Copies of this chain bind each other. A is one copy, B any other.
Amino acid sequence: MTVLTHHRYGKAGVRLFTVEHRDDRHEIADLALRIALSGDFEQTYLTGDNSGVLPTDSQRNAVYALAAEHGVRSLEEFGLLLARHFLDNDPSVSSAEIHVRQAPWDRLTEQHSFVKLRDECRFTTVQATRERWSVISGVDGLSLLNSTNSEFRGFRKDVYTTLAETSDRILATHAVAGWRYAGLEHPWDKNFAQARNALMNAFTATYSRSLQQTLYEMGQAVLHACGDVDAVRLRLRNLHHLPAPLAPLGVQPPAGRQIFVATDQPYGLIEGSVARAGAQHLQVGGEPW
């Protein structure tokens, strides 16, 4: 005998672009959303009875309709609005997860011209049941590099260790950082800017003995900068830059010049969570916090 143990469904890849005219100055938001609803939906799995299933197409329409009525003030507020909408209007829904990603358009003029410079994106994940709500926000794809002030020495050696110790290396990372808010009403955009700055400043200012150490400094910096945040989760790719094989070529760069080969594969992957002492340790979205 088989049983259905877990299930959820929803719409992903929902694109929303909004313009708000404030006299001559336009504000834009360029979002992609993913909605996942859990609840009393077993029958469609087990028998194909769809009578309790709101089409994912209607979920997409809700995005447009709520954006039209309320506007998008911030990712977090809009995510909360959507989660509330599904919980309030569909008694079958016991849990809603709204994931929102924002394309990073920067202003070119004071009026209505924009440039999208960055691959980096801001995101938020709202998870809500009727009893418990959480908001996790973050940045995906923040690429940072220090061309010095990084070493890696004194590590454990085993039978397969061939890596040389180094007291000066390039430290480069592709970072995903998420932070969990302690409540549901905060100045979201201000917190985002503060957290992102804290991440960059900590990376820049840390003399690094390991990327793990830098990770912990980055997490602490977000907690220090954002009183509204009680835990930070970081996932840092260690993007290796290998010294180019110059010796066999019979060439040597002059003092002050270094030649490296940047590589994509393999890469180190360093993960960690930093929390205020006493903050709840939770599973949120399959990740330990």
A residues adjacent to B (C-beta < 8 A): 1-22, 26, 28, 30, 32, 34, 36, 41, 44-58, 60-62, 64-65, 67-69, 71, 89-90, 92, 105, 108-109, 112-120, 141-149, 152-163, 170, 200, 203-204, 208-210, 212-213, 215-216, 219-220, 223, 231, 233, 237-238, 241, 244-246, 248-253, 256-277, 281, 283, 285-289
A54 touches B156 (CB 8 A): yes
- Which residue of B has the minimal Cβ distance to A248? B162
Assess whether A114 is in contact with B213, with CB atoms less than 8 Å apart.
no
**Chain B contacts for A250, CB-based, 8 A:** 159
Chain B residue at smallest Cβ distance from A15: B262
Among B7, B13, B146, B258, point to the contact of A265 (Cβ < 8 A).
B13
Specify which chain B residues have a CB less than 8 angstroms from the CB of A146 in the assembled complex.
Answer: 112-114
Selected from B15, B55, B153, B249, the residue in CB contact (under 8 A) with A61 is B249
Main secondary structure of the interface of A (DSSP, over half): mixed
Partner of A271, one of B9, B55, B203, B248: B9
Q: Quick one: which of B44, B90, B209, B272 contacts A6, CB cutoff 8 A? A: B272
A258 surroundings in chain B (CB, below 8 A): 18-19, 21
Q: A57-B162, A249-B64 are in contact. Are A257 and B21 (CB under 8 A)?
A: yes
Rounded to whole Å, the gap between the CB of A119 and the closest CB of chain B is 4
Q: Are B200 and A149 in contact (CB under 8 A)?
A: no
Given contacts A45-B272, A209-B50, contact A264 B144 (CB under 8 A): no
Could you say how many copies of this chain the assembly holds? 4
Most buried by B among A19, A200, A289: A19
Bound-complex Cα distance A46 to B274 (A): 11
Which B residues are CB-close (under 8 A) to A266?
11-15, 56, 60
Known: A2-B219, A45-B272. A143 touches B156 (CB 8 A): no
Contact indicator B68/A253 (Cβ below 8 Å): yes
Residue pair A5, B118 in contact (C-beta under 8 Å): no
How distant is the Cα of A75 from the Cα of B271 in the complex, in angstroms?
25
Report the separation of the CA atoms of residues A143 and B105 in the bound assembly, to the nearest whole angstrom. Answer: 9
Say whether B275 contacts A57, CB under 8 Å: no
Q: List 6 A-B contacts (CB under 8 A).
A: A3-B275, A15-B263, A17-B260, A64-B249, A113-B146, A114-B147
